[in-house]
Amino acid sequence: MLLNPMLKKGGIQMMESFVLIKVGTGEQLNFSKTAKEEIARIKGVVKVYGVFGRYDLIAHVKAHDLDTLSRIIMDKIRSIAGVLNTESLIIGY
């Protein structure tokens, strides 16, 4: 039997996303550490990883629905000082 992994006990649907985050550099060099700490405190953020490459951070975010997921990303993560842009990869099962 294949179970839908988007369903938790009680049938509550969960949305998950990996959010790729670009933070400031140069004079804003400290923003990466500060932004990571602030993002980690947001309700719905499961884990924040520092990475090398085009993006500086990746946040694993879970929410009960797409609207809540969007608000976490648009209103909370993007409003943090030093966050320049984000790209969201919504997990499809």
pLDDT tens digits, 62-92: 999 999 999 999 999 999 988 999 999 999 7
Q: What confidence score (pLDDT) does residue 1 get?
A: 39
The answer as to whether 43 is a domain residue is: yes
The answer as to whether 82 is a domain residue is: yes
The answer as to whether 52 is a domain residue is: yes
74/72 Cα distance (integer angstroms): 6
Q: What confidence score (pLDDT) does residue 32 get?
A: 76
Q: What confidence score (pLDDT) does residue 28 get?
A: 55
Q: Work out how many domains the chain is built from and give that number.
A: 1
How close are the terminal C-alpha atoms of the chain, in Å? Answer: 15
51/4 Cα distance (integer angstroms): 30
Q: Domain containing 33 — which CATH number?
A: 3.30.70.920
Look up the domain containing 35 and give its range: 14-90
Q: Which residue in 51, 68, 5, 67 sits closest to 59, CA to CA? A: 51
The answer as to whether 26 is a domain residue is: yes
The answer as to whether 3 is a domain residue is: no
* Radius of gyration of the chain from its Cα atoms, rounded to whole angstroms: 14
The answer as to whether 7 is a domain residue is: no
Instruction: Sheet with 57-63: list strands edge to edge.
Output: 45-50, 57-63, 15-23, 83-90
The answer as to whether 6 is a domain residue is: no
Q: Would you say residue 30 has pLDDT above 80?
A: no
Q: Would you say residue 8 has pLDDT above 60?
A: no
- Confirm if 80 and 38 have CB atoms less than 8 A apart: yes
- Give the pLDDT band (50/70/90) at residue 2: very low
